[in-house]
Structure 1
Amino acid sequence: MGRITEETRARNEDALRAAMDRLLRGELPPGGKCDLKTLAAEAGVTRTALYPKKDRDGTTRPGPYQHLAEEFERRLKALQDAGTVPDPRAAQIERLKTTNAELKKRVTDRDAEIEKLTEFKQLALSRIAAQHLEIERLREELAEQPELTGPVGIVASLPTPRGIAPHGSCS
């Protein structure tokens, strides 16, 4: 590839600066991001011109527009540090990440609450079953001792009126 003239270099730098200003204002092309790839495409220069070059002996030298790429990255970082995100998709991604983290926490909290309630339910059912067994045992014991029941015995059964629920009953 041949060398470019100073006039072409100046025109490319002006195009890069103009594209940089547009991108940092949030004027992104459809499907574009606020990044070096979009910057190069908007300015009409190759993306490789924004990165350092390697010589044949392995040493690196700056790319022709690397200083503009570094300026773009610096300005973008300054905007982000100030709380401004020129790329609406990046802002949306950050918002969605925050929402996702909040929802994960809520799900974790709810799972813990469900586990506690399940344990409480199991304990309550166990106690009810134990009380039921104790009531049945006492009824059997009472039925085996006929001398304790009846009008002369210590414990007397009271008749309940038919069709009327006893006081305090839930039925």
Structure 2
Amino acid sequence: MASERHAQAEARIQAAMEQLLGGDIPEGLRCDIKSLSTLSGVPRATLYRTYPHLKQEFEQRLGRVRETGGEPDPRITQVDRLKGEVARLRGRIARMNQELTEAEAFRTTALSRLAAQHEEIVSLRRELSDATAGGLRMVPPR
């Protein structure tokens, strides 16, 4: 009877191991020992005490998967991808803010120059009108 329960628990642990390493990870769980014990229905202390060979096998297989550049948990892969995308977008926002600052500085400079040119034109027109009002004639251009 005890050996039958032992064999059933071992089979459940093996099935949970295959499920987790296969990427079929239920919501709220991860690809780790705690999730392995939860999914198999075997208490974690029992897994450490009675089935250390299965725990070690799981850790070795998980390590091999990660060494080959894979990740059994697709959510971790997605999180890593999204972190990269967030970093790229933050860089893009920083560049756009820099461009906006430069455009605002250019606008301020351009408006200042336009105002100065306008004042110069008004001043020249005033001088011209004063000169023609005093009886001076303009020399026609050749």
Shorter-chain TM-score tier? 0.7 to 0.9
Give the superposition deviation at 1:147: 6.2
SS of 2:87 mapped into structure 1: helix
| Aligned residue among 147, 151, 154 for 2:139 | 154
Aligned residues: 140
Asked if 2 retains the 8 angstrom alpha-carbon contact of 1:148 and 1:154, the reply is: no
Distance 1:93 1:112 in 2: 28
| Aligned residue among 62, 65, 69 for 1:83 | 69
Distance 1:118 1:155 in 2: 44
Call closer, same or farther: CA 1:119–1:70 in 2, change over 3 Å. farther
Query: How do 1:124-143 and structure 2 match up within 5 A?
Result: 124-143=110-129
SS of 1:28 mapped into structure 2: coil
Call closer, same or farther: CA 1:138–1:11 in 2, change over 3 Å. same
Bigger helix fraction: 2
Tell me if 1:13 matches 2:10.
yes
Give the superposition deviation at 1:139: 1.2
How does the TM-score come out when normalised to structure 1?
A: 0.67
RMSD over aligned Cα, in angstroms? 2.7
Distance 1:70 1:115 in 2: 57
Runs of 4+ in 1 over 6 A off after TM superposition: 147-150
Report what 2:78 is aligned to: 92
Paired letter, 2:55: A
Report what 1:59 is aligned to: none
Which of the pair has the greater relative contact order for Cα pairs under 8 Å at 6+ separation? 2
* The structure with more radius of gyration: 1
Asked if 2 retains the 8 angstrom alpha-carbon contact of 1:40 and 1:46, the reply is: yes
Report what 1:167 is aligned to: none
Q: Which segments of 5 or more consecutive residues in structure 1 lack a partner in the other structure?
A: 52-62, 157-171
Paired letter, 2:92: R
